[in-house]
Structure formats: structure tokens, C-alpha cells
Structure 1
Amino acid sequence: MKLKLTVLALLLAAGQTFAQNKVMVTAHRGDWRNAPENSLRAFELATAMGVDIVELDLNITKDGILVIMHDQTIDRTTNGKGKPADYTLEEIKKFGLRNGLGRVTRNTIPTFKEVMLALKGKPVMVNLDKSYPYYREAYAVLKETGTLKQAIFKAEVTYPILKERYTTLIDSITYMPVVNMDKPDARAVINDYLQHMKPWAFELNFKTDTSSILKDNKFIRKTGARVWLNSLWASLNAGHDDDLAVEEGNKNDSWDWLLAHGATVLQTDRPRELILYLESLHLRKKPLQK
């Protein structure tokens, strides 16, 4: 009880006005601890767990099919070598995805279409990382599968650059700007988006945690946009990360800190643990599925 009161005190001190069931959880590359990263199974397991969002990475084959692959090559995550663009879909499907121990499994590289059809109609959104070069192709798949409302497009570009490249498309998609808090123009980038769009959220990344926007981002939240913070790699959150919370048991300087600094969406490599913790604080949108 003392810990819960401490967390709530932090939230109130930071000007947070969380209603019950407020914070959304995003599973980074799906449930990769129990299935190969970016595999169809990893996304299905994370969805069954009860996460609100799964994150995936888009790439493209030689014959123009969108597939899910984080790296520019398939070397690390499969028993193949080279770029996805070196292979047709039929050829790339012959490789097996590796699990966390490096063992080759029977899971193959999924197509974007396969993932969206598998998650269609389920209470989960899909965050499209590394998608900026492929917005038009992704949009076509989403329209074909009837899943456009489940997808979140994102990019670390300014509004003028986005508008120039995707002039007509941006009015038809759910969009989240990615903003580097360490850059001096971060506030200007955010304000420009708020002036011209209604972003679903802002993903705020930072190696140092001194930005005034982190101390007070109510100007974002009052527009209805969410504040997306990452609790995975320390390089995205100045060390307020999952491992600190789970391996060292220090939630005060990790998850609690991120909540106190405005997070209404947390992307994590520890979705099960984070969901349980948020449930204990009555800050979950939906309960963990057993």
C-alpha cells in the first residue's frame, strides 16, 4: 500500500489526472520472450495476453510484398542471409525465424497482410515501426483487409516533410510523430503537428531526462493526444527502463518515473510484468488474460 501511495503521489505532483484504467501497454515486437520476435505467434501471444498494442517492423521483398522484419538483413533473426529485397516472398518463406536462444524454429517471416488478418477484429492496435518508406503499400494492405482503424503509422520527421511526401494520405491514417527530446527544436516540432493535425499520440524519446516537455506535457494531453514513452532500451528513456523495474526491482526510478512524467502509453519488452504492475495501481485499461 505504501508503494501504491508513493506512485499516486508522484503522479499528482507531476500534474497527472489519470482516471482509472488509463495506461495502455504496447508489446515491442510482440511477446518475443515466448516466440521469435516479429513472428505471427509473438503477436498472437501478446494479443492473447491482453496488451493494447503490438509493435512490428515493416520491410519489403523483391516482389513488393510487405513483410515483418526489424533489421535491414535477415541474418540475425533467421537461418538466411541478405536483405528481404534479395528474395521473393516464396523464397523468403523458406527460412525459419530464430528464437531468443538463436535456435531456428518452424516460424516463418510473416507478411504484413497475414498479421493484420490474424489480428483483425481483436481488441489490439498495431504500431507500424520502420514504415515510413512504405506508407502507401501499408495503406493498401490495411484497406484490403479492413483493418485501417487498427493501425498506427509513425515517423521521426517534421510535419512539413511528412506533408510533402504523403500529402493526401495523412488525412486518412492514424498517425503518431516520433520526437527526440534531446533536440532543441522538439517543442517546435510538437507544436507544428498540433497546429496542423490531430495526432493519436506523440512518441517521446530521450537519452537525457532534462527536457522541460518531460516535466510538463499537459499541453499535449489536453488536445486528446497520448504521450507514448518507451520503457525498453535505456537509450530511449535515460535509463528509466524495464530491466531496472524487473531485474533490480526498482520501479520508482523506472515505470513509476515514466508514469509521473506523463506516459499514457508505455512500450515495453516486459508486457506481462508491466500489465500486472499497472493492474495493482488500477491504471490498466483491461486485465491481464490468464
Structure 2
Amino acid sequence: MVTPRFRRTATSALAVALASAAAVGGTSAAGPFSDADATTASPTADSPPLAHGSKGHGGKNAAERSYRDLLDHSDKAKILTAAHRGQWRDAPENSLPAIDAAFDDGAEIVELDVRLTADGVPVLMHDETVDRTTNGTGKVSSFTLAEIRELRLKEHLGGAQTALTDERVPTLAEAMEAAADRGLVNLDKGWPAREEIWDVLVDTGTVRNGLFKSNAPVAEVQAFRDAHPGALYLHMIIDDNLASFDEFGDHQPVGYEVVFGTEQDAVARAPFLARVAGESRVWINSMWNGLADHLTDEASLIDPSRGWERLVTTFRASMIQTDDVVAIERWLRTGEGDTVPRGSVRVQAEDYAPGGEGVAYHDVDAGNRGGLDMRPGDDVDISDADGNVRVSWMRGGEWLTYEVEVPRTGTYELSARVSSPYTPAGAYTVAFDGGPESERVAVLSTTSHNKQELQASGVAQHLTKGTHSVRVSLPDDAYQNWNLDYLQLDRVTH
């Protein structure tokens, strides 16, 4: 297998810490930022009770544990995971199943987006319009609740070519009831509707589940907090409103969402973050470049020290919002990113065989449209998507050849980590060692160019121990518009 040029599989500092703990009889089953390290704080005297009522909420359920963890600002506070728009990989974003799936996968917080209907009902919707995520068109504010309920949500992140589901747009009340005994809810985009949201929290008994958020003037925020005792509040802070921290004085929010374009931003500097962490939780986003420089989910999968680990150790993050809940929870337990499964073989898309055009690859357009100059002189389109290095602009008639080193004789199944917002996204065939091509494998939409998914091909091949070639070809009579991150061969054991 060609050695990856810009990817590292070196053991992270967190994994070293885990190994050291195991060697001296530590808690090897728990990662360095797991529950085992958490200390809990008591709720404040004027805090309202957690969810209660006919469902029997209250007591020491998951939501109460998350609430108590939220109040813990110590150096050993548990790192809390926030699922961006819920677990949209399993269900439509901002849907009730996405909320359930996020908590099932280990998140303590679901980030949801709140907007008002024409008749003043808070519902879940990220955009001002319903166009991207439903089969409707128009502004959320132009629909009554009854009208918006007639719409159907699209799969995952939505988009013009995304399939419809049977899911409907939830009300905030339904969302809070779903989260009531499971965890916390970050109420994004909801500050203009804060009074209506507060009424929902009170009516559903979920005041201690809801996290208000804004970058509004401190005086405005304080007036709301004074009028609504027990309201949990997270303040968004960048260089432009850095002074907000001092303006809150002795009445600090429970957390700050810190956003920095580069590590040189004042808000990202160690002295300031130390002050914030001494008073509040530090919330940092890892979904894409620009939210925390380039410390992203995708960079973390390659090497956690290039993302999540640095957010915690350098930038004091104690809450991380992610698009990859399963992976970050695995990292919190083990210190590992996207490791190659035992016995499997993985080759990165950009590490195709040497030899150039007509030997190692065929590309239908001249030059590297991706702009990432990792194979100088080659025409393969290599790009960077929020830390993910991949081959992009996949088009009909193109092909790539890879050399893989198989560690053990056996039958191997091929998978490809891909992304595309289109339906259909494309198709490919596979040929091993110059043999016949496989049947066509359909590339399924991930509903985003920049959100990758490992998809099984159904192609299996008996391979002997040693070096083999794998050619991936794109039929020129099929629509093709997708991106390839890596190929993986998993040994069949059954």
C-alpha cells in the first residue's frame, strides 16, 4: 500500500495516557474524558426542578446527570458532546428521530434550531425557509402550524435531490418532551423567540433542559435572565464582542460558545480562555473550517491531535458540537480517531499508484481542479473539505489504480468512504489485479459534498497475502458527481 503523505496514524497523547493508565492499573475501560473523570455539581438553590409530570421525569435520569455535569466547571469536568441538528446521519435534521438517535449515540446535548410559525408556535427548522429540508417552499413565518405540519422532511441534511421521509416538522414542545429525561437542548436561532420558547419550557417542565443562546448585548441578556430565574444561557463570543465576558461580571453564563477563524484571534488565546474556563463552560464547534480555525471533525478522524484533542488541551473546550457523534464518543472513550479495523486494509484516495496518466489513472479534464497540490504534475482532482483530503470531481470515464498490501490470505469485502449531495450520485466498478470488472456499485447520496460516509460495495474478492492492484472505474454512461475519501478492504470472517 502506498504510504499516505499527509495523514498520520501516530498514537495521540490521549491514547498514550490511556495506555499508561492501564499499565499502572488505571481505568483502562474509560477514556481520559469519560464519565470516570466527571465530578458533579449541585443545582443552584433557585433552579426549577427538572422535567416532571405524567411521564415520571425527574430523579437521577440522563437529563439530570447532564444538567449537573453542565454546572461543573472544574478541571475534571466531563467533556459534553453536542449533536449538531441532532443525529442527522440517521434521521432528518431537526427531527424527533434525530433527537432520539443523538442521545442513543451518547450525546448529552442536542443542538436544535427554533423558528416561529405565522401563528407564533416554535417549531424546529434551521433555515428561514422550508425549501432545503422539506417538500414545501417559502418562509417558516408564512406557514401556520397546521400548514407546516402538512410538509414532509427530507433525509439527513436535505437538499434539492434528497428523498422525502414520512417525518413531519416537530414543534419545540414535542422536541423538549423527547429530550426531557434524556439530555439537554441547545436552542439555536431561538433568541428572537425567547419568550415563546420560555413558555414552552415551562409548560413541558423542561426549563433545566433548555440552553438559550445568543450574541445579544449583555444588558438585553441580563434583563431576560433576571426576568426568568433558572434560565440556562450560553453566550456566543468572538473578537468583536470580547468585552462581553467582563460585562457579565459576577453573573456569568453557564457557558460561552467560542468561535475563532484563526488561532491568533484574541478569543482563542490562552489567558482569555483560562479566565472563561474558570467561570463557565467553553463550547467549541468542530463541524467545519472557520469555526475553530481548522480543528474539525474530519481532521480529528485522521488524527485527534489535529482537532478534538487540541480543542480540549489547548483551547479549554468542555463542550464540543460535532457532526460525528459516534466518532467523538469513541474518541472520548479510547483516544482514537478513525482507525483501521483489525485485519482490514485501507488506502486513501489521493494515494493512487505511481505512473501518471494512462498508467495509474485517467482523468477527463486537465489539471487538479481540487487545488490541493499533493501529487504535482498529475491531473487527479485532490481537494480538502474541512480537513478531509479526497479525490473530487469524479466524472464518467475516469479511473484510478491503487496498490494494496494484503496481510493475510482470505476473502475481502470492499467499501468506499464517499460524499455527494446528488441522487443519483454516481456508480463505479472494481477490478482486482487486471481481472474482470465487478458489477456496478451505486454511490448513495450523503446529502452533502463535505459529509462522508463509508458505504459497502457488495464486492468481495479472494486475495492472497501480498501486493494486489485495485482499479476503480467510473462508467461514462452514468451520472457522476461524487467524492472519494478512501477504499477499505475488510476480511470476511463468517
Tell me how far apart the structure 2 counterparts of residues 175 and 7 of structure 1 sit (CA, whole Å): 36
RMSD: 2.3
Report whether the alignment pairs 1:209 with 2:269: no
After the TM superposition, list the runs of 4 or more consecutive aligned residues in structure 1 that deviate by more than 6 angstroms.
Answer: none
In the alignment, which residue of structure 1 is the partner of 2:274? 218
Q: Is the 8 A contact 1:179 1:202 kept in 2?
A: yes
| Shift in alpha-carbon separation, 1:196–1:159, aligned structure 2, 3 A | farther
Cα shift readout 1:247-271 (whole Å, capped 9, x = no counterpart): xx13222112211210000000001
Q: Is the 8 A contact 2:258 2:267 kept in 1?
A: no
Tell me how far apart the structure 2 counterparts of residues 40 and 6 of structure 1 sit (CA, whole Å): 35
Report whether the alignment pairs 1:147 with 2:156: no
Cα shift readout 1:71-118 (whole Å, capped 9, x = no counterpart): 000000000000112111111111110113611110110000001111
Tell me how far apart the structure 1 counterparts of residues 286 and 333 of structure 2 sit (CA, whole Å): 17
Tell me how far apart the structure 2 counterparts of residues 2 and 92 of structure 1 sit (CA, whole Å): 49
SS of 2:202's equivalent? helix
User: Which runs of structure 2 are paired with 1:58-207 in the superposition (5 Å)?
Assistant: 58-100=114-156, 102-122=162-182, 124-163=183-222, 166=224, 168-180=226-238, 182-183=239-240, 185-186=241-242, 188-193=243-248, 195-207=249-261
Q: Tell me by how many angstroms 1:171 deviates.
A: 3.7
- Which amino acid is the alignment partner of residue 131 of structure 1? G
Which stretch of structure 1 is more off in the superposition, 209-218 or 62-71?
A: 209-218
In the alignment, which residue of structure 2 is the partner of 1:22? 78
Report whether the alignment pairs 1:3 with 2:3: no
Q: Tell me by how many angstroms 1:237 deviates.
A: 1.0
SS of 1:128's equivalent? strand
Report percent identity of matched pairs.
32
The higher relative CO (CA closer than 8 Å, separation ≥ 6) is in: 1
Cα shift readout 1:136-195 (whole Å, capped 9, x = no counterpart): 10110100010100111010123123235x364354300111001x33x41x211212x0
User: Which runs of structure 2 are paired with 1:274-285 in the superposition (5 Å)?
Assistant: 274-281=328-335
In the alignment, which residue of structure 2 is the partner of 1:55? 111
In the alignment, which residue of structure 1 is the partner of 2:293? 238
Tell me how far apart the structure 2 counterparts of residues 156 and 5 of structure 1 sit (CA, whole Å): 33
Tell me how far apart the structure 2 counterparts of residues 198 and 232 of structure 1 sit (CA, whole Å): 26
Q: TM-score when scaled to structure 1?
A: 0.85
Which structure features the higher share of strand residues? Answer: 2
SS of 1:148's equivalent? coil
In the alignment, which residue of structure 2 is the partner of 1:269? 323
Which structure features the higher share of helix residues? Answer: 1
Q: Tell me by how many angstroms 1:7 deviates.
A: 7.6
Cα shift readout 1:189-246 (whole Å, capped 9, x = no counterpart): 11212x04231111101111113442322212222x1111111121211111112223
Tell me how far apart the structure 1 counterparts of residues 275 and 196 of structure 2 sit (CA, whole Å): 34
SS of 1:252's equivalent? helix
Gaps of 5+ in 1: 12-16, 283-290
Q: Is the 8 A contact 1:214 1:262 kept in 2?
A: no
Q: Is the 8 A contact 2:134 2:152 kept in 1?
A: yes
Q: Tell me by how many angstroms 1:3 deviates.
A: 1.8
Tell me how far apart the structure 1 counterparts of residues 81 and 173 of structure 2 sit (CA, whole Å): 23
| Shift in alpha-carbon separation, 1:141–1:92, aligned structure 2, 3 A | same
| Shift in alpha-carbon separation, 1:25–1:230, aligned structure 2, 3 A | same
Tell me how far apart the structure 2 counterparts of residues 30 and 269 of structure 1 sit (CA, whole Å): 9
Q: Is the 8 A contact 2:260 2:268 kept in 1?
A: no
- Which amino acid is the alignment partner of residue 277 of structure 1? W
Tell me how far apart the structure 2 counterparts of residues 89 and 241 of structure 1 sit (CA, whole Å): 36
Q: Is the 8 A contact 1:24 1:52 kept in 2?
A: yes
Q: Is the 8 A contact 1:7 1:256 kept in 2?
A: no
Aligned residues: 266
SS of 1:229's equivalent? strand
| Shift in alpha-carbon separation, 1:5–1:32, aligned structure 2, 3 A | closer
